[in-house]
Structures are given as C-alpha cells and as structure tokens.
Chain A
Amino acid sequence: MVTSEVVPQQVRIPLAPESLSAERIAYLDGLLRQAKHAAAVFTQYTQEDVDRIVKPMVVAGLEQAQYLARLAVEETRLGVMEDKALKNMVATEFVYNYVKDKRTVGAIREFPERGLVEVAEPIGIILSLTPITNPTSTVLFKCIMAIKTRNAAIFSPHPNAWRCCHEAVRIMYETALKHGAPEGVFTCLESHGLPENAYLMRHKDVGLIDATGGPGMVKAAYSSGKPALGVGPGNTPVYLEKSADLNMAVVDIITSKTFDNGTICASEQTVVMDDEIYELALKKFADLGAHICNEKETKVLERTVIDPETGYMQPIAVGQRAADIARMVGIPVKADTKLLIAPIQGVGREHPLSAEKLFPVLAVYRAKSVDEALKVCVDVNHAGGIGHTAVVFSRNEEVIRKFGEVINAGRIIVNSPGSIGAFGGVYNDMVPTFSFGCGTGGGNSTMDNVNVYHYLNIKRVARRTQAHMWFRVPNQIYFNMNAVENLHRLESKSTIIITNPAMEHMGHVDIVRRHIPARTLVHVSVIPDAEPEVAVIEQGVEALHFYKADQIIALGGGSVIDAAKIMKLKYESPDADLEELAAPFMDIRKRVVEYPTMKVNRARLVAISTTSGTGSEVTPFAVLTDKLSGRKVTLADYSLTPDVAIVDPQFVMSMPKVLTADTGIDCLTHALEAAVSIYASPYTDSNAMQAIRLVFKYLPIAYQRPQDEEARSMMHNAACIAAIAFSNAAVGVNHALAHAFGARFHVAHGRANALMLPHVMAFNASVPTKFMPSPNQRGYIAHKKYATIADLLGLGGSTVDEKVKKLIAATEKLLDQLAIPHSIAELGISREDFEQAIPDLAKIAFDDPSWRSNPRMPLVTELVQLFWSAYEGWGGASASTHKHSA
C-alpha cells in the first residue's frame, strides 16, 4: 500500500552509493548472488510446485496475523493492533483467494480463436521496499506474489518497521523453504540504510523495484533507471450526495477513516456533502462517536496536525487515536471519540486540513449544488491525490457516472468505505492488493491494483493466422446471347436507363426497353461517353429522385456503369461524402472509412456491359472525375457492386478491332494479376484461370473475326469472370504502372496494360528484392502460379522456370496477334520525353494502391526499371531478374 511517509518532503535517497563500505557492498552482493541463484533455479518449477508452496505460506500468515500485528504496533507505534491483524488476514486469505486458481507458470492464458498464447516469464530478483504504515501486511502480500510468480525478493523495510518486517519475511521464508522453495528466495536487509537501497536499486541483477512507501522513495525507485512499480500518495475525496443511504454512508466513512487509525492512504480525507443533508449527516457522525469541531477547534487542528511550512501532515499525528490527537492539541473531547471532523471552506494551502491526513481527522465541506460538490472533489483529487482513490455515496446513477468521469483515480469506490474498498475483494470485486497504482497522474507506471501479473513478464506466442477472406459477386448474372431478355423478370415501377449517345444511336437502348415489363415506367438518361463527372452524377441523382426510380439500368462501357454506381450510392444515401469515401486504404476488408448502410431510397442496379474488358458490371469499383478540382477519385466498396449483371454478347458484336484488342488484354491482365495476387484464393483462382484460358483461346478469334458469335460470347464471359476474380483478389503492379503511364501519355488503359504485361510477369516470377507481407500464403508462389497457368494452356516445359518463360512468350505472341506495339517507343514517345516523365511516373505508380496486392513489393527503382523495360520492349525485362531455384 502506498503511504505518504511521515515527513515525505524530507525523505532523501542518495543517487550514488559512495558512502557504502567495501564490506557493506560485499554483503549486498552476497544477498544478490543468493537471490539470483534462487530466481534462476525457480524457473524450473511448475505451476503445481508453486501452488504447493503458496498455500502453506498463506496459512502461516493467517496463523501469525495477530502476532505480526502486535509486533508492528509495538515497533511503529502506529495504528491499531486489531486492524493490523485484519490487514494481515486480508493480505493472505483474500489475496490467496484471488491468486489460487490463477496460472502464473508456463502458458497462463490461451486464445485459440486468435492463435495467441500468453506465457509467463519470471522477472528474477525483485527489490521490495515496504512502508511503516502497513509493514507486515505488505510483506506477507509481496511474499505470496513473489512465490506465485517464481521470483526472488529482497526486502528493504522502512527503518522504523524493520523488526516486524524481518519477522514476517522470516515466517514466510521458512514456510516456503519447507515446502520446496529454492534456498535464498527471500532475504531481508539486516540493517537499513538509504545507501543500501540506492546500491540495490541500481544493481544489474535486480529486475524490478516494487516501492511501496513515501514519495521520496518512490521517486528514487523511478529515478534508478530500473523498471519500477512505485505507487504514489493519496488524498481521497468523498462526495456524500443527497440521495445516498446516509446511515450506511456515515458508518462506512467512520469504519474506513478509523481503520488502523487512518494509516491507509486510500482512507477518506475530505467529505463533500450536499447542503440538504449536511446537518443531518454531521448529527449522525456525532451520534456514532465523532467530534464535530467548532471553528476555533478547527483552527487549532490546522495549526497543529498540519505543518504550516510544508502543508504536509505532522508525523506525530500519523496513526494515532482521535482522542489522543485531541488531547495533544488541546481540544476537549470524550475519551471514546473515534473521529475529529473539521468543517473547511475550501481546498488548498490556505485550507490546511484539505491535505492528506493519515490519522482520524476528517475535513468536511458543505456544497450548495452537485456542480460545486464535484468541483471541490476535483480540487481535493488534484491536491495530492491524483490517480489514487475517491469515494462517492449516492443512489443517483448520473451523479456516480459524472463522478467517475471527472475524478482521476485508479479506484473510484461507490457506496463503500474507501480504505477497505480500495483493497479489493472485500466490498467489491476489484483485485485484492496492498499496492495502489496511481497512473501517470501520480507519477506511476500503472493505475492498477498491483497484482501477480505485475510480477511477470508476459510473453505472447502468436501463431500465424489467416486473414478472413470472402468472395462476393452480384446476386444474379445472366449471360450468353440475348441474356438481356431476363430483364422481364425484374419487377420495377420506375426504371431509369443510364447510357451514352452511342448506345442510343446503335439501337441498343431500344433492345433493352423492349425487354422491360410494359407496366414499368421507363426513362432514359443519356450521359457523355467519358469518365463520369460530379455534375453528371448530380443530374442523374436528380432524375432518380424526380422519377422515384426503383431500378437503374446501366447500359454501356465502364464509364457508364461507374456513373450509375455512384448515382445509386448518392440516391440511396444522399449524405454520402464522395471525397471521404475515396480515402485511401490498403485492404478493402480493413478500411477506415465505411460506406453508408442506412438508405433513404432503394434502387436495384442492373449493369449491361457493352465492352469485354473492364468487367465493371460485377466489380465494386467506380471512378469519378471532378473537373472543378481536377481530381479523379476511385471509389471501392462491395456496396457499389451491381445487383444484377447482364453479359449479353449482342452488345459487343460491333466493337472495333482496336477496342477488342485493348479491352481483351485488360481482361487478361485482370486475370493474371488476380491469379498471383496475395489475396488470391481457391475461389478467385478458379475464375482467374478460366478467364485466362478463354482469353488465350478466343481473343485472337474475336479480333480476327469480329462477327464470330462464340468468340465474342466467350470473351464477354471472360471479361466478367476475370472481373469477379480481381474484385475479390485485386490487381497488381501492372495496373499501377499502366494507370500512371496511361494518364501521362493518354494511352488507353488496356493498351497501357499490354505494354507492361510481359515485363511485370517476368518481374513477379523472379526472386523478389522485397517480399510482400502475405499471411495467407506459405512462401513465394507467383512463379508457380504462372507455371500452373502455362500447364492449363498446354504450353509445355518441364521446370517452373521453363513454364514461366513459355507463358511470357505466349503472352507476347498474343499481343503480336492483336497488333499491339512491342514497346512504348513504338507509340512515338521520344526517349527524352519519357526520361523526363520517369520520376513522376515512378512516384505516381508507387502511390497507386493497385500494387499493394502484388506478390512482389516493388521498390521505386524497380518501377523505374519496369518502365524502361516497357519503353525498350519485350525481352528487356527477364534478363534483369533472378531465377528461382527449381
């Protein structure tokens, strides 16, 4: 337990042990050596060994409780023997009741669902400083804690409580030794001196200082540079609120404040009472043996029991009976007076009795309101008691809640005595202790009731866990020729078709309208064929509101579908802030900014794609351009995924050849990047692999023979399937490069992807300079994934390396078949222009979130190298990579 020492401001612990003789140092080294051996040997003990020792120690402490209490009172002249005996019993029986079933050896806690095990590691040697006010109980408590945690302890008692502490240590040690504890596990300094403490505090073999005592000693412990459990002084405010059970409160306060003559630092110091109950409460105190001081008596007390120079309590009063204090200072009271109650008008140095008083003198304050009462309690709390203990008596939950919020105390005791309540385990379910942590406010390392876990190093054995994954797709996907007919299944009162002028011109809108049930009101909103802008979105949302739409049909390429996704988002959740929702994230599953779930409108989104590449009809992504700010934001959330996707090849039969090639390679890039992504799963692999197979088989045909229905259909399916894969596994560094390069040199996305693709495959297939953290994968597997794809395509090769090479060659051949340039240089971009752009390109590519799912983490220098490889053309990348061992 923390105590303010008798004269705390006078305590000085020297910082250096120069005053120690060589003999004294040898003596201390001998103690340390003995403790060190004991602590080391103790590490071999099992939980059962330890528990076999603890129980008889507790019994011994209980048997000797009165004997040790008597010794303590005789030696210290403080407190009450009966109360000290009770404290000795709490320190043994109550503490044992808490620790007996606690695991403190080996695995102490397991969290199988989190793959975590906590394993106890003893500290070694604990230097244990004990106070004068609770000498033997603190020793008993610390001995039990040390044995339970397999530590050795060296005790350094307060000099004025040395004999009783030494006896307590002896009883504990002999009992522990008899039951198997290592020889030397407890020692007690044979004589006490501050230089000895300073030497021990700084000794390399001491693992922890547990300093229970006055502020000087606690400060010395913290200043030693050693880990320390030093706990601070108190000044306990009590709020006696008008709704409280007054009879109970008065008895509790008297019980607590007179317990061991008020030596417990958690005992009540100033009681703030509501005006309405003030007189009645004082009467009840008086009826139960308290003396209510008049103004003159209060002044006498202020001058005598508090040092006017320092503002601290006078040592002579500490732990003395109320009647004796009254006699000493000349206040006439009955011989059986339990408590002196002194009304005060404020808190601080000008009101001396508002300070901590470790004797049965209690200050009381009459408050006119709850607000005033709470403020006075805060004042008392801040007048030397931050972090320690506070008490509130009330039946008003709001008052209790507010008190708990405004008072900074590790123990906020409700409707019970402060001192005995703070121990824990008697009046409440707090952890039993004799050492009260006061948190940083009190200059302490902990605010807990110090317990066995503070005597342990707790190691965490963390097993590898797989991240939770999922696979999300639209509710319904209709595919193959004339899949659009399925629109007739979708009930709607009011439908808006979002499309672009080309679709209307080509008659595609009419085809769609034809299959919408006749009873549905249909409106068409034509938007420009470009990445959606804020203004376009706003107009679309207005139309949705105007027509009270319950269904949106997006007919077009990626831009139109993206626009419809954002319109739906703003229509259903008008307060959605697109800028905020576009906040960067690393993993969509763990993103900080969450999309709205409360919706004021509901509309089904049906996406009909008219290109075979982006797969926007099934993806959770949408890109928005804000012309005013010049910014492009990417929105990503599964709530953006269309509800229904229609993959009908009739809408892509007339795609131009270049568009067929570019979108087809975009689709292939999606599939290849999803296949090697760190988020790849068996679910995404099945889609990625199938998409890759379809692209290699049907893209050249669709390119060469645009009217080949089967090829068009299969490529349309491939785009959708690849998008399903990358919607759940994400893309990679190829997209990061393509985004940066395409935007800078105005190259179509699919074509930009194509220019990077062979180089990125070679990059990913080689041994990474930096691996990407990837809990779901065992080892680096990108090259093996490529080899698996090569096998799927029947490309041959007998080793992984050969298969990878054949896949890259097949990809280059495919690009050739689609008349895609071999290099960036072939686009007509000069080397000088490209060189000038490279620093920006690398920076932008590195900022692009796409690569964060890439199997290989790219260094900026590697991004530069990849850009240059793409500039030079095929064959330049693989030469610079390391091969995997077969």
Chain B
Amino acid sequence: MSTIAEGFKIEGDRVAECIHEAHMQLDTVCDQTTLDFSSVLRITPRDLRAMEELADRAENESVKVVLCGVNVDIYKVLKLVKLAARFSFATNGAGSIELGREENRHAEPTN
C-alpha cells in the first residue's frame, strides 16, 4: 500500500492487508481518510471482514472513510452486506459511467 495525499491506495491483489494497514493508521487521521479502490477489481470475504473492522473503528473514532474508485460490482457487494452505508463514496472520474444525462423533452418522431 502506498500513502497518497488524500489517504491510502488499495492494491488489487492484497486488499485485506492494505485495509488493515489503513486501519492501523486511523489514529493519525483527523476527520476523514480516503481509500482508493481504483486498482481493485474484486473483493473476497476476507476483504469484507477487514472493511467491517475498519468501519467499526472509524465509527468509534468519528473518522469519515471515503472510498473512491469503487467499481459497481464491488459497490453491489458492499450494498448486499450492508456495508455501503458505513462508508462515503467518491468517484475519481476515470472509468465511471455517466448517468442521468438529461434527454430532450420532446425527441424527434421516428414515425
């Protein structure tokens, strides 16, 4: 894991370890820390346990944990285990799907 300006970069092949390291450094954080998941394609039950522990501690110490670059598959996993609500999410732009583009109110007829 490398420490980045806003927080921690999570490596795709050692997610639980990186989260654990972030966990260990939580007391050095003021109000908020960011975990960059942009290199993570998939998570395991072990990773989930690490995230639960991190969420527990962050809540105890009133630290806001922001996850950025989380792909939608991982986001769905976090929703299914009710972990999503315990984190904040930020998009880092690249690879994100642009949603909610406003359509013309009256499109041209096709007929």
| Contact in complex: B106, A884 (CB < 8 Å) | yes
| Contact in complex: B104, A779 (CB < 8 Å) | yes
| Contact in complex: B45, A779 (CB < 8 Å) | no
Residues of B within 8 A of A664 (CB): none
Provide the bound-state CA to CA distance between A372 and B5, in Å.
Answer: 87
Provide the bound-state CA to CA distance between A209 and B81, in Å.
Answer: 20
Query: Cβ of A182 < 8 Å from any Cβ of B?
Result: yes
Q: Which of A32-40, A577-585, A614-622 contacts B (4 or more CB under 8 A)?
A: A32-40
Residues 654-688 of A contacting B (Cβ, < 8 Å): 680-682, 685
Q: Which of B17-25, B26-34, B69-77, B88-96 contacts A (4 or more CB under 8 A)?
A: B69-77
Query: Cβ of A780 < 8 Å from any Cβ of B?
Result: yes
Provide the bound-state CA to CA distance between A36 and B76, in Å.
Answer: 13
Query: Cβ of B108 < 8 Å from any Cβ of A?
Result: yes
Provide the bound-state CA to CA distance between A627 and B49, in Å.
Answer: 82
| Contact in complex: A44, B43 (CB < 8 Å) | yes
Contact partner of A779 (CB less than 8 A), chosen from B43, B74, B105, is: B105
Nearest residue (CB) in A for B108 is A778
Task: Say whether, besides A44-B74, A885-B105, A38 and B45 are in contact (CB < 8 Å).
Answer: yes
Query: Cβ of B44 < 8 Å from any Cβ of A?
Result: yes
| Contact in complex: B109, A36 (CB < 8 Å) | no
Query: Cβ of A103 < 8 Å from any Cβ of B?
Result: no
Task: Say whether, besides A777-B109, A778-B108, A183 and B80 are in contact (CB < 8 Å).
Answer: no
Query: Cβ of A43 < 8 Å from any Cβ of B?
Result: yes
Query: Cβ of A445 < 8 Å from any Cβ of B?
Result: no
Q: Give the Cβ gap from A500 to chain B, nearest Cβ, in Å.
A: 39
Residues of A within 8 A of B107 (CB): 778-779
Q: Give the Cβ gap from B19 to chain A, nearest Cβ, in Å.
A: 14
Provide the bound-state CA to CA distance between A680 and B74, in Å.
Answer: 47
Q: Give the Cβ gap from A360 to chain B, nearest Cβ, in Å.
A: 47
Q: In which size bucket is the chain B interface?
A: 20 to 34
Provide the bound-state CA to CA distance between A671 and B87, in Å.
Answer: 60
| Contact in complex: A34, B104 (CB < 8 Å) | no
Nearest residue (CB) in A for B81 is A40
Query: Cβ of A776 < 8 Å from any Cβ of B?
Result: yes
| Contact in complex: B109, A39 (CB < 8 Å) | no
Contact partner of B44 (CB less than 8 A), chosen from A182, A779, A780, A783, is: A182
Nearest residue (CB) in A for B46 is A183
Query: Cβ of B110 < 8 Å from any Cβ of A?
Result: yes
Residues of A within 8 A of B63 (CB): none
Interface residues contributed by chain A, number (CB under 8 Å): 28
Query: Cβ of A184 < 8 Å from any Cβ of B?
Result: yes
Provide the bound-state CA to CA distance between A96 and B5, in Å.
Answer: 51
Provide the bound-state CA to CA distance between A779 and B80, in Å.
Answer: 36
| Contact in complex: B105, A39 (CB < 8 Å) | no
Query: Cβ of B48 < 8 Å from any Cβ of A?
Result: yes
Provide the bound-state CA to CA distance between A784 and B81, in Å.
Answer: 50
| Contact in complex: B81, A780 (CB < 8 Å) | no
Most chain B CB within a 10 A radius of its CB, from A40, A780, A785: A40
| Contact in complex: B106, A784 (CB < 8 Å) | yes
Query: Cβ of A124 < 8 Å from any Cβ of B?
Result: yes
Q: Give the Cβ gap from B46 to chain A, nearest Cβ, in Å.
A: 7
Residues of B within 8 A of A783 (CB): 106
Q: Give the Cβ gap from B85 to chain A, nearest Cβ, in Å.
A: 14
| Contact in complex: B43, A41 (CB < 8 Å) | yes
Residues 9-58 of A contacting B (Cβ, < 8 Å): 34, 36-41, 43-44
Residues of A within 8 A of B43 (CB): 41, 44
Task: Say whether, besides A39-B80, A40-B77, A43-B80, A776 and B44 are in contact (CB < 8 Å).
Answer: no
Residues 776-802 of A contacting B (Cβ, < 8 Å): 776-781, 783-785
| Contact in complex: A44, B111 (CB < 8 Å) | no
Residues of A within 8 A of B44 (CB): 41, 182-183
Task: Say whether, besides A37-B48, A38-B45, A778 and B77 are in contact (CB < 8 Å).
Answer: no
Q: Give the Cβ gap from A306 to chain B, nearest Cβ, in Å.
A: 49
| Contact in complex: A778, B76 (CB < 8 Å) | no
Query: Cβ of B42 < 8 Å from any Cβ of A?
Result: yes
Q: Mark B41-83, 1 if CB is under 8 A from A, else 0.
A: 0111110110000000000000000000000011011101100
Q: Give the Cβ gap from A492 to chain B, nearest Cβ, in Å.
A: 40
| Contact in complex: A777, B110 (CB < 8 Å) | yes
Provide the bound-state CA to CA distance between A785 and B111, in Å.
Answer: 11
Provide the bound-state CA to CA distance between A776 and B111, in Å.
Answer: 7
Q: Give the Cβ gap from B49 to chain A, nearest Cβ, in Å.
A: 7
| Contact in complex: A37, B45 (CB < 8 Å) | yes
Provide the bound-state CA to CA distance between A776 and B105, in Å.
Answer: 16
| Contact in complex: A777, B111 (CB < 8 Å) | yes
Contact partner of A784 (CB less than 8 A), chosen from B49, B74, B80, B109, is: B109
Residues of A within 8 A of B80 (CB): 36, 39-40, 43, 124
Nearest residue (CB) in B for A36 is B81
Provide the bound-state CA to CA distance between A781 and B106, in Å.
Answer: 7
Provide the bound-state CA to CA distance between A824 and B108, in Å.
Answer: 37
Residues of A within 8 A of B111 (CB): 680-682, 685, 776-777
Contact partner of A781 (CB less than 8 A), chosen from B45, B46, B76, B109, is: B109
Contact partner of B45 (CB less than 8 A), chosen from A182, A680, A681, A884, is: A182
Provide the bound-state CA to CA distance between A397 and B44, in Å.
Answer: 57
Residues of B within 8 A of A777 (CB): 109-111
| Contact in complex: B73, A43 (CB < 8 Å) | yes
Nearest residue (CB) in B for A679 is B111
Provide the bound-state CA to CA distance between A784 and B104, in Å.
Answer: 14
Residues 268-284 of A contacting B (Cβ, < 8 Å): none
Provide the bound-state CA to CA distance between A68 and B75, in Å.
Answer: 40
Q: Give the Cβ gap from B69 to chain A, nearest Cβ, in Å.
A: 16
Residues of A within 8 A of B46 (CB): 183
| Contact in complex: B105, A37 (CB < 8 Å) | no
Q: Mark A743-780, 1 if CB is under 8 A from B, else 0.
A: 00000000000000000000000000000000011111
Q: Give the Cβ gap from B77 to chain A, nearest Cβ, in Å.
A: 5
Provide the bound-state CA to CA distance between A38 and B42, in Å.
Answer: 13
Contact partner of B73 (CB less than 8 A), chosen from A44, A182, A680, is: A44
| Contact in complex: B109, A779 (CB < 8 Å) | yes
Provide the bound-state CA to CA distance between A783 and B49, in Å.
Answer: 59
Q: Give the Cβ gap from B79 to chain A, nearest Cβ, in Å.
A: 8
Residues 871-886 of A contacting B (Cβ, < 8 Å): 884-885
Q: Give the Cβ gap from A41 to chain B, nearest Cβ, in Å.
A: 5
Residues of A within 8 A of B73 (CB): 43-44
Task: Say whether, besides A680-B111, A681-B111, A777-B111, A41 and B105 are in contact (CB < 8 Å).
Answer: no
Provide the bound-state CA to CA distance between A785 and B105, in Å.
Answer: 16
Residues of B within 8 A of A124 (CB): 80
Residues of B within 8 A of A183 (CB): 44-46
Residues of B within 8 A of A884 (CB): 106
Provide the bound-state CA to CA distance between A43 and B81, in Å.
Answer: 12
Contact partner of B77 (CB less than 8 A), chosen from A41, A681, A785, A885, is: A41
Nearest residue (CB) in B for A678 is B111
Residues of B whose CB lies within 8 Å of any CB of A are 42-46, 48-49, 73-74, 76-78, 80-81, 104-111
Residues of A whose CB lies within 8 Å of any CB of B are 34, 36-41, 43-44, 124, 182-184, 680-682, 685, 776-781, 783-785, 884-885
Shortest Cβ-Cβ A-B pairs, 10 listed: A40-B80, A779-B107, A37-B45, A778-B107, A779-B106, A781-B109, A40-B77, A183-B45, A40-B81, A44-B42
Given contacts A779-B106, A779-B108, 16 further A-B contacts (CB under 8 A): A37-B45, A37-B48, A37-B81, A40-B48, A40-B81, A41-B45, A43-B73, A182-B44, A183-B44, A183-B45, A183-B46, A685-B111, A776-B110, A776-B111, A783-B106, A784-B109
Question: Can you name 20 A-B residue pairings with CB atoms under 8 Å?
Answer: A34-B45, A36-B80, A40-B48, A40-B76, A40-B77, A40-B78, A40-B81, A41-B42, A44-B43, A44-B74, A182-B45, A183-B46, A681-B111, A682-B111, A778-B109, A779-B104, A780-B106, A784-B108, A884-B106, A885-B105
